[in-house]
Amino acid sequence: MKIAIAQINPVIADIEGNKNKIISFIKDAESKGADIVVFPEMSTIGYPPMDLLESSKLVDDNLRSMESIKEFSRNVKCAMVIGFVDYDRENPPMLYNSAAVIQNGGIIFRQDKTLLPGYDVFDEYRYFSSSRKSSILEFMGYKIGITICEDIWSALNTDNSRFMEQRRYHADPVKLLVDKGAKVIINISASPYIKGKRQVRMDMLSRLAAADSISVIYANQVGGNDSLIFDGSSFCINPKGKIYAHSKSFEEDLLVFELDHGDELQMEIDDIEDIRKALALGVKDYMHKSGFKKCILGLSGGIDSALTAAIACDAVGPENVSGITMPSVYSSSGSVDDSYKLAENLKIKINTIPIKNLYNQFNTDLAEVFDGMAEDVTEENIQARIRGTLLMSVSNKTGALLLTTGNKSEFATGYCTMYGDMCGGVAVISDLP
């Protein structure tokens, strides 16, 4: 059986665009001889839609897109596994997070998600009902169990030990399917990137495959959605627990392979490189999905603004990035010189807007109110707020997205200025210590 994993980057709530992308990937998989093509969780809507799920129009549009995909399936030989959202008609207004197997114009199999995460960034139990049953898909002589994202993170060994450090659920969807005879587990996911998580996924699912002598096909979403970044990194594991097919990370990909055929891959993960790719993808997708073409940032001559500028260039190209340096009485000559050298190295445009006169005018206008008070951090914050105002003005006038340059350690300790260096639409390295 030849399988294709369609690792796509959907746009949340762009039902028409997502449908067209799904159909395009199906065509590509068909041309490569795939018997079945597997898409990530909630492919029709994108993950996480959050309270947009309260819109019946969104759910209805996603169901209409499924009808279009079913109609298209009449024209291809391969089957397809599609993540979508459906109504729980027995328990309105709740929904199901579902996977449908489509072939020859109809849904030949369906599985709803069983385990609904309600920790960290997840809040699924607010919207979804848990699956009431688990069934086996028989396809091309294989007994296949289909799970959705969290369902596979509760896998248990026969000794009841966990592959995870903490048990969050008593149910184990994978074990239920294996007990019913499943020899292949397909998992469609939208699993966000966290440093080190790629290795945890591979280790956990490799142990699961070997423990139950099953094949595991893992299809993950890719892309940036506001504060979440999805790395893709889809893969397949044979019954001995060996990874023999792996997609690209942090970009769309179509991974085509023969089930359980292929040499073991030696996977080496560079966490720093992954972080760089994740941050660049986050900037790229935020701009693309929000309609921005260009971005700007303040350049101080320091490492944070330099790193943010480099990530922005990686994301959207130096021709779409501009820097602004704003020297004041507190600035050293080196900060301006370093900013210009950085712009030269990155090949980005740079402008200088001196703020000394503005700063002096602020002090003059505040002199009466501040009479008798010694200078302190207030005066330094004034210059930060002047810079923030200027940067936001340039952003408003040009339509370029302003990138904030503060890091996580600064934000955590309060070493930043409200309405000053915190101004901007995206805080690129704000989760980077």
Averaged pLDDT for residues 243-253:
97
Decide if 383 is inside a domain. yes
Residue 345 has pLDDT above 50, yes or no: yes
Please check whether residues 93 and 227 belong to one and the same domain.
yes
Decide if 340 is inside a domain. yes
Segment 379-400, tens digit of pLDDT: 989 999 999 999 999 999 999 9
Output the pTM of the full model: 0.93
Q: Are strands 184-189 and 243-246 parallel, antiparallel or unpaired?
A: unpaired
Please check whether residues 362 and 259 belong to one and the same domain.
no
Decide if 281 is inside a domain. no
DSSP output for 154-170: G-B-TT--BSSSS---S
Q: Which two tokens stand for residue 263?
A: 């040499």
Residue 113 annotated among the catalytic residues of the structure: yes
Single out the catalytic residue among 19, 21, 70, 113.
113
Residue 108 has pLDDT above 50, yes or no: yes
% of the chain with per-residue pLDDT over 90? 90
Single out the catalytic residue among 19, 124, 149, 423.
149
Per the DSSP assignment, residues forming a β-bridge with 223 are: 230
User: How many whole angstroms separate alpha carbon 110 and alpha carbon 136?
Assistant: 10
Decide if 283 is inside a domain. no
* Span of 160-169, 192-201, 323-332 with lowest mean pLDDT: 160-169
Residue 416 has pLDDT above 60, yes or no: yes
Residue ending a domain, among 276, 307, 331, is: 276
User: How many whole angstroms separate alpha carbon 9 and alpha carbon 18?
Assistant: 9
195, 153 Cβ separation under 8 angstroms: no
Please check whether residues 205 and 312 belong to one and the same domain.
no
Residue 197 annotated among the catalytic residues of the structure: no
Q: Which domain range does residue 176 map to?
A: 2-276
Please check whether residues 109 and 218 belong to one and the same domain.
yes
Residue 60 has pLDDT above 60, yes or no: yes
Q: What is the pLDDT of residue 162?
A: 37
Please check whether residues 387 and 252 belong to one and the same domain.
no
Please check whether residues 168 and 101 belong to one and the same domain.
yes
Decide if 72 is inside a domain. yes
Provide the Cα torsion 89, 92, 96, 101; round to 10°: 20
Residue ending a domain, among 276, 309, 332, is: 276
User: How many whole angstroms separate alpha carbon 299 and alpha carbon 336?
Assistant: 8
Q: What is the pLDDT of residue 330?
A: 67
396, 372 Cβ separation under 8 angstroms: no
Please check whether residues 224 and 373 belong to one and the same domain.
no
Decide if 208 is inside a domain. yes
Decide if 179 is inside a domain. yes
Please check whether residues 188 and 331 belong to one and the same domain.
no
Averaged pLDDT for residues 305-315:
98
User: How many whole angstroms separate alpha carbon 103 and alpha carbon 105?
Assistant: 6
Segment 311-330, tens digit of pLDDT: 999 999 999 999 999 998 76
Single out the catalytic residue among 41, 70, 183, 284.
41
Quickly count: other Cβ atoms within 10 Å of residue 103's Cβ: 18
Whole-angstrom distance between the N-terminal and C-terminal Cα of the chain?
46
Please check whether residues 230 and 373 belong to one and the same domain.
no
**H-helix or E-strand containing 379?**
helix 377-398
Decide if 433 is inside a domain. no
Q: What is the CATH classification number for the domain harbouring 88?
A: 3.60.110.10
Number of domains in the chain: 2
CA nearest 394: which of 368, 423, 371, 416? 423
DSSP output for 233-275: --EEE-TTS-EEEE--BSS-EEEEEETT-SPPP-----HHHHH
Please check whether residues 232 and 320 belong to one and the same domain.
no
Q: How far is CA 21 from CA 10, 107, 234, 284, 319, in A?
A: 8, 20, 18, 18, 28
Please check whether residues 309 and 423 belong to one and the same domain.
yes
Q: What is the pLDDT of residue 153?
A: 87
Please check whether residues 256 and 388 belong to one and the same domain.
no
Averaged pLDDT for residues 271-296:
97
Residue 149 annotated among the catalytic residues of the structure: yes
Quickly count: other Cβ atoms within 10 Å of residue 32's Cβ: 13
* Higher-pLDDT residue of 163, 288: 288
Q: Are strands 222-225 and 243-246 parallel, antiparallel or unpaired?
A: unpaired
Residue ending a domain, among 225, 251, 276, is: 276
- For the chain, helix, strand, coil in percent to 5 are 40, 25, 40
Q: What is the CATH classification number for the domain harbouring 337?
A: 3.40.50.620
